[in-house]
Amino acid sequence: MYRTHTCGELRIDHVGQTVTLAGWVQRTRKMGGMSFIDLRDRYGITQLVIDESSSKELNDMASGLGREYVIQAIGVVEERHSKNAKIPTGDIEIKLTEINMLNEAQTPPFTIEDESDGGEELRAKYRYIDLRRNPLKKALSLRHKMAHETRNYLDSKDFMEIETPYLIKSTPEGARDFVVPSRMNPGEFYALPQSPQQYKQLLMVAGYDRYFQIVRCFRDEDLRADRQPEFTQIDCEMSFVEREDVLNTFEGLAKHLFKNVLGMEFKEQFPRMSYADAMGFYGSDKPDIRFGMKINDLTGVAKGHNFSVFDDAPYIGGIVVEGIASYTRKQIDELTEWVKRPQVGAKGLVYIRISEEGIKSSVDKFFTHDDLKKIADGMGAGVGDMIFIMSGIKTKTQVALGTLRIEMGNRLGLRDPKVFAPLWVCDFPLLEWDDETNRFYAMHHPFTSPKPEDLDKFYSNRKEDLELVSANAYDFVLNGTEVGGGSIRIHNSNIQKRMFEVLGMTDEEAQYKFGFLMNAFKFGAPPHGGIAFGFDRFCSLFGGQDTIRDYIAFPKNNTGRDMMADAPSRIDEMQMNELFLKSVAPEKTK
């Protein structure tokens, strides 16, 4: 061992001991005849000192040290004259007797501080240096803890972690698979799993009762901001359960993590909300309930005032934003432009301002003071508040109002990342109709069970009936982000068959794509259900961050490139031949 202690370990009790430390030179400075070196490792920073009385050799050695040099330092622990209360080792310093150079270092391309001076691209290229910064060390440390506590909890609940294969069969349902050519089976490909969905269901058929896995998943999608081609899931499945059992078990997991990772106790049951309420009150299937500002349905009360925009609209809704009656006309105009951007897509924004001076609105022409007062009272708005109203097609308008609600939450500081508001959203529609392809798609995936009470509608051939079928599905939402999703699965092969039929798959197609799962169900499948959590996102929320990239040691950029390793890359012609493949890619022009 190159050290007796770490750089985060020494305290006042160690004074007088001779110790050996090893680490990186964070900074050096001279003061009078003294040299100070801050030595850093994963565990902390310790101050090293060389004074006039030290040998010339030692002084020369210290003078030659650059940032990020790796050294071994031997000396005696002494109490500091001027203590540093900001770091745990701040009471002591090491009076050096020896320095051994372990490795020199080129000057790093950016500073290794909490706020680095390096740009995003540069830091991506030198990820191994960026990873030395505190925020990233904290992020990966939190991630380790999250994973470990997840395993502790699930192990204590009799879940078995079972590894499922990464080289699986391609199933062209849902997102695009990454594929892997097989050399031993020419012309054939494996796929990388988008999730172990089918395997975990097979494990239930096999009687494993409670399965989990913290597992990598792969999706070859055009990457939106903050999406990664490979991501990690906490993947779980249970047998002989109903919805309540699943929700309780994984609410238990979330509470365990809040307690053991963040030290926060959640004693009450997490709130549960139907999809319909989530859309109706929050304009989102993943409401942020850290703050109120619920959407009010004004369709009844706002019609009939000769304002054609309202009168012609199938739906009118509004939100009360507290305490912003002082917003200027300019601010309101800016907000109106904001909601009219294509990302929100509203046609306009009606406001009602309730101030000491009275009630003022952009539709004063059509609404009397009493009309407006009635609306404001109905919404619970009082002096100092502002009401924003939109109208149009119901769902679209709700979503736009929901987007405005989140924006106002941001502007008013109502979305504190240290406050956590978990929520279950339930009773999603089973199917989504797509006009373009003229067919239904599974809102979750084709193994999600319809609610038992909707089975009649599920077997109906009328589109209107099928649209009303609810899924026995649920999402775990944290602070406005969908962190987990799952369902009670179909365990009956007839219902599964019907599902494929509804999705427009022929028997042969279904057999080709999911045959082994459908066959498995014939040999005694138990009732079962499960859930999967997006682990990268779960970690970033626990860390109070928006971006998942800091919570992944070696992430890829928006075009799926690893900037550090410069992957993907061309491969040898010989290997292409072995795989019986020919590239017909256009020549790279850049």
| Residues in 112-151 that interact with a second copy by CB under 8 A | 126-129, 131-132, 137, 140-141, 143-144, 147-148, 151
Question: Is residue 189 involved in binding a second copy (CB under 8 A)?
Answer: yes
- C-alpha torsion 205→210→215→219, nearest 10: 50
Question: Is residue 225 involved in binding a second copy (CB under 8 A)?
Answer: no
Report the residue number, 200 or 405, with the smaller CB distance to a second copy: 200
Question: Is residue 180 involved in binding a second copy (CB under 8 A)?
Answer: yes
DSSP states of 349-373? -EEEEEETTEEEETTTTTS-HHHHH
Report the residue number, 276 or 565, with the smaller CB distance to a second copy: 565
Rule CB under 8 A: choose which of 377, 507, 568, 573 binds a second copy: 568
Question: Is residue 87 involved in binding a second copy (CB under 8 A)?
Answer: no
| DSSP-derived secondary structure letter, 471 | B
Rule CB under 8 A: choose which of 36, 166, 266, 420 binds a second copy: 166
Q: Which ranges of 111-242 does DSSP label H, i.e. alpha helix?
A: 120-125, 127-130, 134-156, 197-205
Report the residue number, 5 or 353, with the smaller CB distance to a second copy: 5
Within 10 Å of residue 342's Cβ, how many Cβ atoms?
5
Q: Which of 73, 79, 72 is nearest to 11 (CA)?
A: 79
Report the residue number, 156 or 395, with the smaller CB distance to a second copy: 156
- CB of 423 vs a second copy, minimal distance in Å: 23
Distances 233 to 248, 484, 575 between C-alpha atoms, Å: 19, 9, 32
Report the residue number, 176 or 498, with the smaller CB distance to a second copy: 176
Beta strands in 204-253 (DSSP E): 210-218, 230-239
- CB of 542 vs a second copy, minimal distance in Å: 16
Rule CB under 8 A: choose which of 45, 96, 191, 466 binds a second copy: 191
Chain residues 15-74 in contact with a second copy, contact rule CB under 8 A: 22-24, 40-43, 68-70
CB under 8 A, 24+ apart: contacts of 490-496: 490/447, 490/448, 490/449, 491/449, 491/521, 491/525, 491/526, 491/527, 491/528, 492/521, 492/525, 493/518, 493/521, 493/522, 493/525, 495/449, 495/450, 495/455, 495/458, 496/446, 496/447, 496/521
Question: Is residue 298 involved in binding a second copy (CB under 8 A)?
Answer: no
Report the residue number, 261 or 423, with the smaller CB distance to a second copy: 261
- CB of 206 vs a second copy, minimal distance in Å: 4
Amino acid at 257: L
Chain residues 444-503 in contact with a second copy, contact rule CB under 8 A: 491-492
In the numeric block, which tokens belong to residue 193?
């799993």
User: ∠17-20-21 over CA atoms, to 5°?
Assistant: 120
Report the residue number, 507 or 578, with the smaller CB distance to a second copy: 578
Selected range binding a second copy among 167-175, 272-280, 370-378, 496-504, rule: CB under 8 A: 167-175
Question: Is residue 383 involved in binding a second copy (CB under 8 A)?
Answer: no
* Under 8 Å between Cβ of 57 and 10: no
Selected range binding a second copy among 295-303, 420-428, 456-464, 575-583, rule: CB under 8 A: 575-583
Q: Which of 57, 41, 47 is nearest to 78 (CA)?
A: 47
Question: Is residue 561 involved in binding a second copy (CB under 8 A)?
Answer: yes
Rule CB under 8 A: choose which of 343, 586, 589, 590 binds a second copy: 586
Q: Which residues contact 481 (CB under 8 A, 6 or more apart)?
A: 286, 537, 541
- CB of 366 vs a second copy, minimal distance in Å: 52
Question: Is residue 250 involved in binding a second copy (CB under 8 A)?
Answer: no
Binding mask 251-290 vs a second copy (x if CB under 8 A, - otherwise)?
A: ----------------------------------------
DSSP states of 528-566? EEEEEEEHHHHHHHHTT-S-SGGGSSS---TTS-BTTTT
Rule CB under 8 A: choose which of 2, 64, 111, 331 binds a second copy: 2
Selected range binding a second copy among 9-17, 289-297, 378-386, 547-555, rule: CB under 8 A: 547-555
Report the residue number, 142 or 387, with the smaller CB distance to a second copy: 142
User: How many residues sit close enough to a second copy to count as binding (CB under 8 A)?
Assistant: 125
Euclidean distance between CA atoms 449 and 437, whole angstroms: 23
Selected range binding a second copy among 306-314, 365-373, 423-431, 559-567, rule: CB under 8 A: 559-567
Q: Which of 220, 218, 247, 217 is nearest to 233 (CA)?
A: 217
Question: Is residue 170 involved in binding a second copy (CB under 8 A)?
Answer: yes
Rule CB under 8 A: choose which of 84, 97, 122, 208 binds a second copy: 208
Rule CB under 8 A: choose which of 52, 114, 222, 268 binds a second copy: 222
Euclidean distance between CA atoms 81 and 429, whole angstroms: 68
| Strand partners of residue 476 | 424, 484
In the numeric block, which tokens belong to residue 166?
């990464």
Euclidean distance between CA atoms 201 and 171, whole angstroms: 15
Question: Is residue 161 involved in binding a second copy (CB under 8 A)?
Answer: yes
Question: First vs last Cα of the chain: how many Å apart?
Answer: 49
Question: Is residue 226 involved in binding a second copy (CB under 8 A)?
Answer: no
Helix (H) or strand (E) holding 320: strand 315-321
Selected range binding a second copy among 56-64, 234-242, 343-351, 410-418, rule: CB under 8 A: 234-242
Rule CB under 8 A: choose which of 16, 584, 589, 590 binds a second copy: 584
Rule CB under 8 A: choose which of 19, 94, 99, 241 binds a second copy: 241
Question: Is residue 183 involved in binding a second copy (CB under 8 A)?
Answer: yes
Rule CB under 8 A: choose which of 37, 408, 520, 548 binds a second copy: 520
